[in-house]
Structure 1
Amino acid sequence: MQSIGEKLEEARKRKGVTIREAAEATKIRGDYLNSFENNNFTINVPEIYVRGFLRSYCNFLKVNSEKVITDYNAALLGEAKAAKREHREFFGRMELQQTPLVNEESNSKPQTIDDEKLRREEEVVEKVGLLEKVREKIDSIDKETAIKVGIVAGIALLILLVIIWIFRALTSGGIDDANQGQANPTGLVPAQSQQASPQPAASTAEQETIILIAVGDVRVSVTERNSGRVLLDAHPMVAGQREAISKVGPVKIDYTAGENLQVEIKGTAYGTGKTGVGYSTIP
């Protein structure tokens, strides 16, 4: 007949798990499980926990836990009787007057263990273990929720930044016709380091010449606003290059790098006041 430890060890090996894996699955210390498989149930914990651990381990291994607990109770009862007999034999040898063991056993009620009480105690242990598992599950859910909230917040922030960038790109194109009545209708910034050069006289009262000055690599297009005539089409310019443009009426200047372009108007050089792709309107 197999002992409790042999049954547990055989079931574990049949399941194909190690002591360590079983300990992680059942939340029971590995040295306790190893002691159980060696039929050693003295693990310095209250008896209620020993039974609770045994029942949990049996349920994990798919072993009949009721049969194992019954065998365990029978083993405890046998150990108690053996200890009692040894105790009485010891005092018998000391010639102490005692009631015969046979009479005592015949007159006393059979020693039994209240299975219902044990079951309630074991249920308490199982509920404690279940609460621990629920707490671990809640902790893991909280972490997952925090991660998801962080991801959603990051995506929302990214979308907001993209919307702001698109809005600024659409509204930062330079000076439009509404600014033509201001003191500086071009919206250009006077260039501090650029010296003004003589401006050729206009051939007619309506015609005016402006000079594009590259202070770095830039590609420039110039279009008359009223006629739609293209005066310069995606013209590449390098640092130091100058292009004179004769125009009639307001023009729109598109550029790929506003920081690398200056416009000379009536002898005064202006910077675009912008960086990157943009445009400026010259009246």
Structure 2
Amino acid sequence: MQSIGERLEEARKRKGVTIREAAEATKIRGDYLNSFENNNFQINVPDIYVRGFLRSYCNFLKVNSEKVITDYNAELLGEAKAAKREHREFFGRMELQHTPLVNEETKSAPKGTATIDDDKLRAEEEEDEKVSFLDKIDKEAAIKIGIVAVVAIMFLLVIVWLFRTLTSGGIDDGPQANTTGLVPTQQTASAPAETAPAAATETITLIATGDVRVSVTERNTGKVLLDYFPMVAGQREAIQKSGPVKIDYTAGENLQVEIKGTAYGTGKTGQNYSTIP
């Protein structure tokens, strides 16, 4: 069975392009593509970027991206199981190291030599058992403390995520509301006093003022309208949406959103997101 890297390399050669040409077409660094074809996905970037790069590269090569992402997830799961097994074996070796050795049977002492004090020997054995027991308790306490710390961190992250979700706003249908921090970049003519009822779907336009990658997801259905799409300065991309959407971007300073003829800046820099109702 071919690995992910072998499938990507075969598809690229079948398409008749070099790594450099593929990198220019997909806006993905050539060394990342070369690592993918060598079945190496440890490229020192967050996992969400690895998935996005793989999906974009598969779409460029006309390869089934869903199958590749599924195989990538399976490979990550296998690595996690191997790490867990190695962790368990490591603690098993620690227990073996703390297991006291069986005392050899003492030989009868020859005449004229001092005999071993049984009470002293028993006291030493009890001391060794006590030290071993304390070491075991320390190890179990450390494991429990580690588990509690991980759970506490995860709980804190969930609270932060819920707080950001509840406090993050969006742009109202009217051009004056701007609760997500998007900043109008140009002003259009005033709308008439009475407007027609809003349609079931609405078109928004993404405008790139520099290099940026954008993902657009419907909040109500989870449907992905744009998946980690690369854009360059001057590029426009129209999106048909139904209901509120979340826009994730890698460089907020290089993105504008045009809504009903008005262009808005994100008001943010670097990797971030905005919500539009």
User: TM range, normalised to the smaller chain?
Assistant: 0.3 to 0.5
Per the normalisation by structure 2, the TM-score is 0.40
Greater gyration radius: 1
